[in-house]
Amino acid sequence: MFKFFTQKKWYLWSIGGTLLILSATWFQVQLDVRINEWFGEFYDTLQKALTEPNSVTEKEFIFYLFTFAKIAAVYILVVIFSDYFTSHWTFRWRTAMADFYHDKWDYASSIEGASQRVQEDTLKFARIMEGLGAELLRSLMTLIAFTPILWGLSKSITVLPWIGEVEHALVWVAILSALGGTILLASVGIKLPGIEYDIQKEEAAYRKELVLGEDFKESAKPEKITDLYGGVRRIHYKMYFHYLYFNAVKWSYLQGMVIVPYLALAPTIVTGAITLGFVQQIIRAFGRVETSLQYLVRSWPIIVELISVWKRLREFESKLESSKEFSPKIS
């Protein structure tokens, strides 16, 4: 699965492409930092304009809007280019996997489900890695960029409701709430990867019988098809049940987290110790840090699918390794 990073023919794309994606992602994060600073300045200006008539000129106010437009325009261009290049980079990864399996197809074709592994699972693996990998990079870099900002802004927030004085309070609130949510969701959703894997096995057996029935009429008898579909139905119903309580916990947690920063800021807000611009700036910084720390929580259903695909491809490669005709070192 990782020949893309070990074969010289792919170094330009795997190594060079990775560095380019890293650079583009970091630049996006820096633009987001600048937008966060803009929010603080803009909302302070807005508050001043609303509380002190004629203290802000129309030209000054419009200037802030155009400043945001310029930053946003650059951000959009970087995102568009980054997404376009990442899609190409990911397809090269899939191609490296496909080439490896194509070279071994004489034996691989005798393994049950080989065509699905080579065509469908390599496609799924590449697409999932594209989404998860890009989001992981953004989360890590956002965390690196915004944690110091939130740490600095939190100097003014020293009191938490019911707890009392805590230095850099919002940083600790973000870390503890995200860590707690991650542990909670991982515990609740621990059975999902295995269920997803079982779904793919049942679907593969059902699909194989239907495909055989296209060429051999003696296959795909109604009784056998009905029995196989019964297995598909049972495993899907099982998945629906487990996702029922998983989603209940997930969305309860995510919606509850919306009020957490405001709750933490309550003692400071009611004393009038900070401005509207400062509130907006710290809420956005808190949101960026918290969302980055919640990467596993927000990505868990996709991670479940990735684990399932990885298990199937790993199982496929293990069968290739055990062959007497072919025993390569699989990375």
Q: What is the pLDDT of residue 291?
A: 82
CA-wise closest residue to 291 among 141, 157, 155, 153: 141
CB atoms within 10 A of CB 308: 23
- Mean pLDDT of the 279-303 span: 81
- Mean pLDDT of the 39-64 span: 84
Element (H, E) at 164: strand 164-165
Is it the case that residue 209 has pLDDT exceeding 70? yes
Is it the case that residue 18 has pLDDT exceeding 50? yes
- Mean pLDDT of the 104-108 span: 71
In degrees and rounded to multiples of 5, residue 191 shows phi and psi of -85, -15
**Pick the residue with more confidence: 246 or 330?**
246
Q: What is the pLDDT of residue 66?
A: 92
- Mean pLDDT of the 200-213 span: 77
CA-wise closest residue to 201 among 226, 236, 242: 236
Residue type, 275: T
Q: What is the pLDDT of residue 113?
A: 67
Give the integer Cα–Cα distance in Å for 63 and 61: 5
- Mean pLDDT of the 107-112 span: 68
**Helix spans in the chain (H):** 11, 17-51, 58-103, 105-108, 114-115, 122-153, 169-188, 192-215, 222-256, 260-270, 276-293, 295-321
Q: What is the pLDDT of residue 329?
A: 46
Whether the CB-CB separation of 242 and 191 falls below 8 Å is answered with yes
Q: 3-321, which class in CATH?
A: mainly alpha
Residue type, 307: I
CA 16 to chain centre: 23
Mean pLDDT is lowest, of 218-232, 240-254, 283-297, for: 218-232
Q: What is the pLDDT of residue 270?
A: 80
Whether the CB-CB separation of 194 and 304 falls below 8 Å is answered with no
Is it the case that residue 96 has pLDDT exceeding 70? yes
Q: Which of 216-225, 284-293, 321-330 is predicted most confidently? A: 284-293
Return the percentage of the chain with pLDDT > 70, whole number.
Answer: 91
- Mean pLDDT of the 284-312 span: 80
Return the percentage of the chain with pLDDT > 90, whole number.
Answer: 6
Is it the case that residue 77 has pLDDT exceeding 90? yes
**Confidence category of residue 328, pLDDT binned at 50, 70, 90:** very low
Q: What is the pLDDT of residue 326?
A: 45
Give the integer Cα–Cα distance in Å for 1 and 222: 38
Q: What is the pLDDT of residue 217?
A: 63
